[in-house]
Structure 1
Amino acid sequence: MAPVDSEKLKTIKNKQKRQKLFAELKHNQNKERHKERKARAKEELEHPELKEKRLQENVPETIESKRVFDETIATELEGDDDFSSYFDASKQPKILITTSPHAKKQAYNFAATLMNIIPNTTFVKRQRQYTMNDMAEYCVNRDFTDLIVINEDKKKINGITFIHLPSGPTFYFSVSSLRDTKHIRGHGKQTGHVPELVLNNFSTRLGQTVA
């Protein structure tokens, strides 16, 4: 039987016959590849400079080597931090956590989790008549440095609004793939240590400023 190429395989309608011929094609290709490698190894053994040349020319591609330059990516934070004047490093954070109006059990459970993770936090149940401005004013009058609002819709946590007091800035972070600690196999209990925030892919100039 004459050897079958990949183009001819496409014209064969019988599935079993096509699979059989495809297996034969792959076998022949692998056989030919091993034969070429064996011949090349023998030649390179006699002439080591050929192997050195091949290795220099056949540099494997990586994610970094294929990366397209993006001018928004910053290798380091350039100039002054735009938000540095808003934060007083000597002042200990005092944080109030609340929810969106009409919050459900999921939002309250998530608030409890945040309180276990973030030090010096207080939870206040959001009354429906109070707006975000009302909550911010409430916090400022009681010397809170930050307000965290858990956004929940249809019994699903979908975001966090972070407000630095008294005059901003304000950030909104989407929340996805949220998994409660009790559903994590082998999870441990929170300790009193100050948590570490892991920030991945905050690589643009704006991202570094936010981080």
Structure 2
Amino acid sequence: MAGQGSGAGTGDGAGPPAPERVLFPPTFSVSEIKNKQRRHFMFLRWKQQQRKEKLALKKKRRKEREALGDKAPPKAVPKTIENQRVYDETTVDPNDEEVAFDEATDEFAPYFNRQTVPKILITTSDRPRGRTVRFCEQLATVIPNSHVYYRRGLALKRIIPQCIARDFTDLIVINEDRKIPNGLVLSHLPDGPTAHFRMSSVRLRKEIKRKGKEPTEHVPEVILNNFTTRLGHSIGRMFAALFPHDPQFIGRQVATFHNQRDYIFFRFHRYIFKSEKKVGIQELGPRFTLKLRSLQKGTFDSKYGEYEWIHKRREMDTSRRRFHL
């Protein structure tokens, strides 16, 4: 039997030669390593190898593009959650006549028509603690013509008529939980609307690394990014109505409300032009992040108020690529 098997494989006329067996290395997974330290070490080596291969591929592609010159194909656009966003039917078109009519007749029209001057009252939840107090004081240095008032058992429904009588145009309420600011209520006076935000990632000036000097009293510029839907447009107009129309560019200060995936990031910077193409910026603080929870018609009324929009997680957050602002 052994002779027949060896004869068949020698190609002496008994048949075609048998193909050689190709031995592949056994599949190996880092997770199969039992020793924790060894597993962690091998994982780091694997990540390092991945980075080297990625850099080598990047250099190769760059050399190919330089060699092709103008004939090089356009760079591939990476897929992100933002550029794969599900289209919203309420996306605002600046040239839409209906949008222009709404802007001319909504509650913020007197501000944008320069009929009113912003005057802001900043208050807190009942008996605020130190961190919330410092945050309100720093927020008042960002928003011009704002005044801080600390509540002591006074209901918001009693505060709002007093604000209207004293010509305040907006009311900001900072709520706290366990001595940490965790909510913001913004009510536009005298007819609303009122927005309720969840607040997170609050950083005071002393907690920001490489921060600039204290902000000056100059009126800052305002930047509103990515408020594209009808709801986002209304929220953007609410933030814009907090600041005077004409910024003082000599102060080189800018307040930014950047919307990304329905999270509103607030930053306050001072900038300087180093050259015609380079700009240096310093963050002044404070910084925080907002998440819209509800938008209510009229002024604050938690019991009988009519809500235009309420965030319902189980119904609205079914897709990671669907955003509302």
Q: Same fold (TM over 0.5)?
A: yes
Aligned mate of 2:106, from 85, 91, 95: 85
Query: C-alpha separation between the residues in 2 aligned to 1:179 and 1:122?
Result: 21
Residues 66/141 of structure 1: CA separation in 2 closer, same or farther (3 Å cut): closer
Contact 2:176/2:183 (8 A) holds in 1: yes
Query: C-alpha separation between the residues in 2 aligned to 1:190 and 1:132?
Result: 30
Structure 1 residues 33-91: Cα deviation after superposition (integer angstroms, max 9, x where no partner)? x9xx9xxx9xxx9xx9xxx7xx76x9734237962541246263442364653231331
Contact 1:95/1:146 (8 A) holds in 2: yes
Contact 2:128/2:150 (8 A) holds in 1: no
Matched, 1:8 2:32: no
Contact 1:100/1:152 (8 A) holds in 2: yes
Name structure 1 gaps, 5 residues minimum: none
Structure 1 residues 1-38: Cα deviation after superposition (integer angstroms, max 9, x where no partner)? x6645x6335xx6778xx7xx98xx8xxx8xxx9xx9x
State the number of aligned residues: 181
Residues 61/119 of structure 1: CA separation in 2 closer, same or farther (3 Å cut): closer
Which SS does the other structure have where 1:107 is aligned? helix
Matched, 1:125 2:150: yes
Aligned mate of 1:60, from 71, 76, 80: 76
2:76 corresponds to which letter in structure 1?
A: P
Query: C-alpha separation between the residues in 2 aligned to 1:81 and 1:100?
Result: 37
Aligned mate of 1:161, from 171, 185, 198: 185
Which SS does the other structure have where 1:109 is aligned? helix
Query: Shift of the alpha carbon at 1:141?
Result: 1.3
Contact 1:98/1:150 (8 A) holds in 2: yes
% identity of equivalent residues: 33
TM-score, normalised with respect to structure 1: 0.69
Query: Structure 2 matches for 1:120-199, cutoff 5 A?
Result: 120-128=145-153, 130-187=154-211, 188-199=213-224
TM-score, normalised with respect to structure 2: 0.47
Name structure 2 gaps, 5 residues minimum: 1-21, 237-325
Runs of 4+ in structure 1 off by over 6 angstroms are 13-16
Residues 61/186 of structure 1: CA separation in 2 closer, same or farther (3 Å cut): closer
Query: C-alpha separation between the residues in 1 aligned to 2:119 and 2:101?
Result: 22
Query: Shift of the alpha carbon at 1:182?
Result: 1.5
1:60 corresponds to which letter in structure 2?
A: A
Query: C-alpha separation between the residues in 2 aligned to 1:14 and 1:132?
Result: 61
